[in-house]
Every structure is written in structure tokens, then in C-alpha cells.
Amino acid sequence: EIVLTQSPGTLSLSPGERATLSCRASQSVSNSQLTWYQQKPGQAPRFFIYGASTRATGIPDRFSGSGSGTDFTLTITRLEPEDFAVYYCQQYGSSPITFGQGTRLDIK
Amino acid sequence: EVQLLQSGGGLVQPGGSLRLSCAASGFTFSSYAMTWVRQTPGKGLEWVSAISGSGGNIYYADSVKGRFTTSRDNSKNMVYLQMYSLTAEDSAVYYCAKNRHEGAATYDSWGQGALVTVSS
């Protein structure tokens, strides 16, 4: 099973700042089959980035994903108030499907 | 617009059974695999089960294998999760989710979630 470790656990930033979220895999993620989701309190996860770097429909270009192998990054340039949420990574290259534990992005 | 509307959560005693339902609309249901994911504060998001578009292939997490059954009715655009022999560790919010496409276990639409509480 691939274990995904996200860091930091919590990130406190101000609107307008840049956020860098990390997702590290215990083994190489096949074909960069990694997804990022955003979740707000009381809501289901929302599909954000797949294939490590492809934005889902409607996701603003201030969000970008990068990485391959075992190291992946979600970058948010110029944070907007609506971006403060929990972000999860998920790998779908190997069975079983696994998720990271999440990074909480808080308003400073 | 894709919509996944869940029903069937609730309180159940240990050892009991419960069935979750997920009604899909806004896409060609039979062309997409569907997945169940659960979430707890302690364990986070956990993949539970997936079913192919035709219903011919079904997969389970080891933690639920032999206790949970996933099925779908493509004539009704419904997917189900039948849960048996429930324990406290099965308490979670359960989500149904639509796979982005048949070959990719990444989920582009999610239901609103159904809370399952296993307690006496």
C-alpha cells in the first residue's frame, strides 16, 4: 500500500500570499496518477487537480500541481479567501487507492 | 450538471446492517465506474469499494471485504452499498463518487455524504 504523507499539517497564511503544499508517497506513484481535492467544512471533497498537474474544469489558474515519482506539490499563488480549506492528495496508480491525511490551509 | 444524491445513513447497532443509496443524474450512468469512500476524523478518507459501469467488476477494501456489498441498477441510475456486521470502526461519513472515467480511480463528482453511526 502506498502511504501518502502531506505536509505541513496546517499552513497559516494571509490572502494574497503563496501557498505550497506537499504530498510525499512511500513508493513511486505510477504515471503520476495523483489527484488533489479541496474540502470545506460540511462539504464533500471537490475534484481539483488530476494526473498530478491537470486542473479540473472550473479550477482557477492560480492553482497548479507538479511533481512525479514520490514528490508532488500543490501551489496556490495569490490566495483568495475562498481557498482556505483542507486539501487532500490521493494516488490512483496502485491498488489500494490511498489518500493523504490532509493539509489545513488557515487564514492567518 | 452531474448530481449524486445519497440516502440511507443513520444509527445502527453493532452487528447490524444498513444500506446506502446514491441516485445519479446528469451523465450517462452506465458508462462510469462508481466508488464509495468513507471519512472519519481519525482515519481520514478511506477508499471502500468500486463498481464498474456495467456492474461486472466490483472491488472492496480489505477492511470491508465479506461484509459490504456494492451493486448498481443502471436502469434506475442508482448505486448501493449494503453493509452487514457493522462495527464501531465502520462509523463514518460515506460518500459515493463518480470516477472520472472507467479506467481512472479519480473522482470528479461526489455525493453529499451519509453519516453512519454504529453504536449501542
Nearest CB partner across the interface for A92, out of B59, B106, B109: B106
For the segment A44-77, what is each residue's pLDDT rounded down to a tens digit? 999 999 999 999 999 999 999 999 999 999 999 9
| A 35-94: CB under 8 A from B | 35, 37, 44-47, 50, 56, 88, 90, 92
Residue B57 to chain A, least CA–CA distance (Å): 15
Whether residues A99 and B45 touch (CB distance < 8 A) is answered with yes
Measured between its terminal Cα atoms, the distance across chain A in Å is: 35
CA distance linking residue A91 with residue A3, whole number of Å: 9
Measured between its terminal Cα atoms, the distance across chain B in Å is: 40
Whether residues A45 and B110 touch (CB distance < 8 A) is answered with yes
**Burial grade of A96 (CB within 10 A; 0-12, 13-18, 19 or more):** middle
Whether residues A88 and B45 touch (CB distance < 8 A) is answered with yes
Beta pairing class for A98-99 and B92-101: unpaired
Q: Is A31 helix (H, G, I), strand (E, B) or coil?
A: helix
CA distance linking residue A14 with residue A4, whole number of Å: 27
Report yes or no: B1 at the A interface, CB cutoff 8 Å: no
Nearest CB partner across the interface for B106, out of A35, A95, A100: A35
Question: Do the Cβ atoms of A36 and A71 come closer than 8 Å?
Answer: no
**Residues contacting A44, CB < 8 A, separation 6+:** B95, B110, B111, B112, B113
For the segment A15-50, what is each residue's pLDDT rounded down to a tens digit? 999 999 999 999 999 999 999 999 999 999 999 999
For the segment B27-45, what is each residue's pLDDT rounded down to a tens digit? 999 999 999 999 998 889 9
Segments in chain B below pLDDT 70:
none
CA distance linking residue B25 with residue A86, whole number of Å: 27
